Amino acid sequence: MIINREICVGCGRCHPYCPTRAIHFENLKSVVDQDACYECGCCLRVEVCPVDAIEEYPHIYEYPRALRKYFSDPNATHALTEIQGRGTEESKTNDATNRCGPDEVGIAIEVGRPTIGMDLENIQKITRARARAGINEIEPNNPICSMIRDQTTGDLKPELMGERVLSAIIEIQVKRDRLRHVLRTIKKVARKIDSVFCLDVITQLEPGLKVPQEVLDVIESEELSWRPNAKINMGLGRAWE
């Protein structure tokens, strides 16, 4: 995003809306730090500027800058997945798609959220750790997959280094007996991440909203715990296409 200096009246109303504190005063006018800006568009969307001085960055859709918008603006549809947001539909439509089967688990690692954001180099740290650990079951439709230059090393495309996004999700799907290995790998790399990340485990349920005990046992044995709130697919979807 940019703020037109000719128009800006320096009221500062836009400042608190920026999730990354990229807007600051410079000579009594508001200015967006282009390196810090994620291109989430929040400052523009809330229409808080009294003189309409906030504009889109002119090269916002040019690669690799465009990745900032795709991964940070919830209203942007990712060019690859054609889905708004950073990930795929994971558990949300699993009753219709059966994408995550009864003997499988999905693991989602969302780096940068809540609120901190991150440099894409952090994603590379995880994709490299994943490659070293022989975890190759990365979700092919996730936008991260197209950013990996070499699947055997987990290296991202070099031009992406230095780009910042609000968050990005690495989605992995493995047989249940591989869950322990994946969680251990994530725990090891966690110390190297210069941001925060949310960790999710997705599994099909047993009747009566019972989480399979073998999944819970693995989570507990890796000294992790699950929160009392969760996202639950209510089993009302079906496929007809």
Partner 1 sequence: MTHSLHREGTLDSLERDLCLFIYPARGFNYAGSSPKVRHLMELVYLAGPSNMIVSTLRRNLYSGVTPDEVLDSVRDGARVYCTFNSREKLKEALIRIKEADEGISVVVSGLIDQIREIANEIGLNPHTINLSLGIHGRTGRLPPPDIRQFITMCGHGMVSPDLVRDVIRKVKTGKLSCWEGSLTLAEPCTCGIYNPHRSAELLKELIPLYTVTRW
Q: Which of residues 12-31 bind partner 1 (CB under 8 A)?
A: 15-21
Does residue 68 bind partner 1 (CB under 8 A)? Answer: no
Closest-CA residue to 99 (of 219, 240, 239, 241): 239
- CA pair distance 157, 124, nearest whole angstrom: 9
Backbone region of residue 47 per phi and psi (left: phi > 0; alpha: psi in -120 to 50; beta: other values): left
Q: How far is the CB of 174 from partner 1 (least distance, A)?
A: 15
Structure tokens at 87: 């990930």
CA distance 60 to 52: 19
Does 142 participate in binding partner 1 (rule CB under 8 A)?
no
CB of 94 to partner 1, least distance (A): 4
Contact residue for partner 1 among 26, 51, 75, 221 (CB under 8 A): 75
How far, in Å, CA of 65 to CA of 209, rounded?
43
Residue 241 is a binding residue for partner 1 (CB under 8 A): yes
Sign of the torsion formed by the C-alpha atoms of 162, 149, 40 and 232: negative
Helix (H, G, I), strand (E, B) or coil at 4: coil
Identified binder of partner 1 from the candidate list 3, 166, 170, 182, rule CB under 8 A? 166
The yes or no reply on residue 223 touching partner 1 (CB under 8 A) is no
CB 139 within 8 A of CB 102: no
Q: From the CB of 171, what's the least distance to partner 1, in Å?
A: 9
Asked whether position 145 contacts partner 1 by CB under 8 A, the answer is no
Binding of partner 1 by 91 (CB under 8 A): yes
Region from 57-65, 127-135, 154-162, 207-215 binding partner 1, contact rule CB under 8 A:
207-215
**Is residue 191 a contact partner of residue 200, using CB atoms and an 8 Å limit?**
no
Q: Which of 9, 51, 79, 198 binds partner 1 (CB under 8 A)?
A: 198
Number of residues that bind partner 1 (CB under 8 A): 78
N- to C-terminal Cα distance for the chain?
A: 40
From 36, 83, 133, 145, residue interacting with partner 1 (rule: CB under 8 A): 83
**204 sits near partner 1 (criterion: CB under 8 A):** yes
